[in-house]
Chains A and B, each alone.
Chain A
Amino acid sequence: MADRSAEPAAGNSEAVAAAFADGPAYVPYLVVGDPDYESSKAYVEALDRGGADVIELGLPFSEPIAEGSTIQEALVRSLDAGMTPERFFAFAEEAEVDAALVCMTYYNLIYQYGSETGPRPFVERAAAAGIQGLVVPDLPAEEADPLREACDEFGLDLVFIVAPTTRGDRLDRMMGNVSGYVYVQARLGTTGARDDVSDQTTASLDRLREYDVPKAVGFGISSGEHAERIVAGGADGIIVGSALVDVVAEGVAEDLSTEDVADRLEALSRELKDGAERGYRSRTEPVESA
């Protein structure tokens, strides 16, 4: 297997690297097929218009142990509407977006795909569909060798999640294996939009400072102001999931048109992206003295 420790910052995907190369990256997440295939395509394209640099596309699994209720319900809506890995790949091929696409799903779906045992067929198919990377929340670095090999073979990035509790040897091992960007989990718990920005975020970014890989912070970011504070605190990008999924859920609950929901997603995306850019400028431009 490839030893990445000598080149921890080297990503496999040029598109993902480009997303972080020039200013802060806005990385939104939506569940593909929520609430149905065509609507979610309009929503993902709205994220792209709103300034997305990377889009994390959720492929629903029946037992999503790392998700809070907002995303769990979205995954159920998508499964109920008939989402499968094959339809997911078709979606990635059809979506008209400039942003790099990353697939977020659970390991069993990756492991089961195709006729051959192991993760390779899924990664091969994902690469063919234009997917640039994978995030697998139930796959710690210790179990990731077969998937990392397949990702290296087909040029996908493998993104790991760093929790507030990840330290020491485990952090080193993960940083030796990560490519593309690292997903910094802003606080303990499952996904879900919150109002606060945790001190755990700052502590995590401090621990990661020595590692030369883009750091995208996720979990609980819901407004432009949040995005600004997190990027000002040193993040290279922001990952936003539940706040966007909430917009889709409201659309379902209030029976809004696909266009209305897409407009709201685009507007919230602009707010988040603008916030991230303000945070970035506050880091790079000297603060005016009083």
Chain B
Amino acid sequence: MSETESSTSEVGELSRRPGRERGRDDGKFGRYGGQYVPEALMPAIEELADAYRRYVLNNEDGFMDEFRERLADFGGRPTPLQRADRLSERYDTEVYLKREDLLHGGAHKLNNALGQVLLAKYMGKERIIAETGAGQHGTATAMAAAHLDVPCTIYMGERDINRQRPNVFRMKLNGSEVKPVTTGRGTLKEAISETMRDWAETVEDTHYVIGSIVGPHPFPVMVRDFQAVISEEAREQAIEKTGGLPTDVVACAGGGSNTMGAFADFVDDESVALRAVEAGGSTLEVDEEAGVAPNSASLYAGEEGVLHGARTKLLQDSDGQIMESHSVSSGLDYAGVGPELAYLVDEGRVEPVAVDDDAALEGFHRLSNTEGIIPALETAHAFGYLEEHHEELGERVVVNVSGRGDKDLDAAIEETDKRDLPNAPDMSMFTGGI
């Protein structure tokens, strides 16, 4: 009993760390956040907010203890903080990699998926639904659902299904049902809308596992708290390995879950610069006529609006219709972003930067051939940023390697073949050349 008590107070202390208080009570981050959902979903998100307080913040029934134990045993935490020798030399600064690509499943997504599926069980829900873009959140949710023995349905845009077939197989192998979404352009935002529709009908016995720090309260704070283990570890590891805090933390940003996870415990360390790298796509120019923003840079180029349950920064036209976003990486391909990141950008605490498709692909190849790590195309944006902006960085940089690139090999070969990249190997044998 005394053992439980001591671990409870330890976990309680962790969940009350500075930097994680924002938004917990009412889901508001300054002018952002809130609960803009159909009335039928309000009781469900109120029930969820209550469960979040009880189980996540107060460790009721030992929820956080079980979560941490499963993250270690099933997920493989903690992940290493590794010095990147070649990049450190290249940029004449200490570059450290937070290796979330080594988490079970190959991406940071499991932190959140495992937390929410476990929470659903504590809440007595009998079914899991989730949306997925790149398939990373879908595969993480499918793994967590299989691990915890809960039936699971994943909604995925048809276009994303075609871009990410291996992840579709992985979800099915783990026993999840994958439902294609054919509306709109068939990407993440349509999949989110479709999953919300399912939830509106099944809310009484179903939990919706949102994949990022987006959506109505309490999702943004809850997902942040599950992902904050990244910065919690990275902060301790940095102090232990280098004797101090990093000067910069760099993470790619789509919806923003790896970003906020990597930033959370550094937000109150004012000396640490937080840099959110968005997908600049092919250009930051917007085609209002066609309703297309050929990028996904909602922090950098978006404007305030309401989408998928929250007020945040969005890519939208002057009427308020949501734009079709674009990125070479489907995991960043989203027209919105977490409300907490929108707030931290307005406050000047997080600096948003955009890196285009070309620079991301160069970053993909650079990390692959100099450090022996094939990053996800999402993650590759952070390395594109390093190359373009390393002169602005301090002497000790932590980059969050949010996922590995195995899922992206087909896309990487195809996109590399379209371009004349100085640092890419000859891939023509795979694309019908030679």
Whether A85 lies near B39 (C-beta < 8 A) is no
Whether A113 lies near B201 (C-beta < 8 A) is no
Tell me the bound Cα distance from A76 to B320 in angstroms. Answer: 15
Chain A residues near B203 (CB-CB < 8 A)? 165, 188
Whether a CB of chain B sits under 8 angstroms from the CB of A107 is yes
Tell me the bound Cα distance from A64 to B46 in angstroms. Answer: 22
Number of B residues near A (Cβ < 8 Å) is 36
Quick one: which of B215-255 are within 8 Å of A by CB? Answer: none
C-beta contact mask, A93-125 vs B, less than 8 Å → 1, else 0?
Answer: 000000000000011110111000100000000
Tell me the bound Cα distance from A106 to B193 in angstroms. Answer: 13
Tell me the bound Cα distance from A5 to B38 in angstroms. Answer: 23
Whether a CB of chain A sits under 8 angstroms from the CB of B19 is no
B321, closest chain A residue (CB): A62
Whether a CB of chain A sits under 8 angstroms from the CB of B40 is yes
Tell me the bound Cα distance from A7 to B114 in angstroms. Answer: 48
From B43, B44, B200, B322, give the contact of A63 (CB < 8 A): B322
Tell me the bound Cα distance from A161 to B40 in angstroms. Answer: 9
Whether B183 lies near A107 (C-beta < 8 A) is no
Whether a CB of chain A sits under 8 angstroms from the CB of B16 is no
Whether a CB of chain B sits under 8 angstroms from the CB of A203 is no
Quick one: which of B39-86 are within 8 Å of A by CB? Answer: 39-40, 42-44, 46
Whether A140 lies near B37 (C-beta < 8 A) is yes
Whether B307 lies near A63 (C-beta < 8 A) is yes
A59, closest chain B residue (CB): B319
Whether a CB of chain A sits under 8 angstroms from the CB of B36 is yes
The distance from the CB of B228 to the nearest CB of chain A, in whole angstroms, is: 27
From A107, A117, A188, A189, give the contact of B36 (CB < 8 A): A107
Find the residue from A65, A139, A189 having the highest chain B CB count within 10 A: A65
Whether a CB of chain B sits under 8 angstroms from the CB of A13 is no
Q: A107-B306, A111-B306 are in contact. Are A61 and B38 (CB under 8 A)?
A: no
Whether B38 lies near A161 (C-beta < 8 A) is yes
The distance from the CB of A241 to the nearest CB of chain B, in whole angstroms, is: 14
Find the residue from A67, A164, A189 having the highest chain B CB count within 10 A: A189
From A65, A79, A188, give the contact of B321 (CB < 8 A): A79
Chain A residues near B46 (CB-CB < 8 A)? 170
From B35, B43, B44, B316, give the contact of A112 (CB < 8 A): B316
Q: Which residues of A contact B (CB under 8 A)?
A: 61-68, 72, 76, 79, 84-85, 106-109, 111-113, 117, 137-140, 142-143, 160-167, 170, 174, 185, 188-190
Question: Given A66-B38, A113-B320, A140-B37, list of 8 further CB < 8 A pairs?
Answer: A84-B319, A85-B319, A109-B321, A137-B39, A163-B42, A170-B42, A188-B40, A189-B197
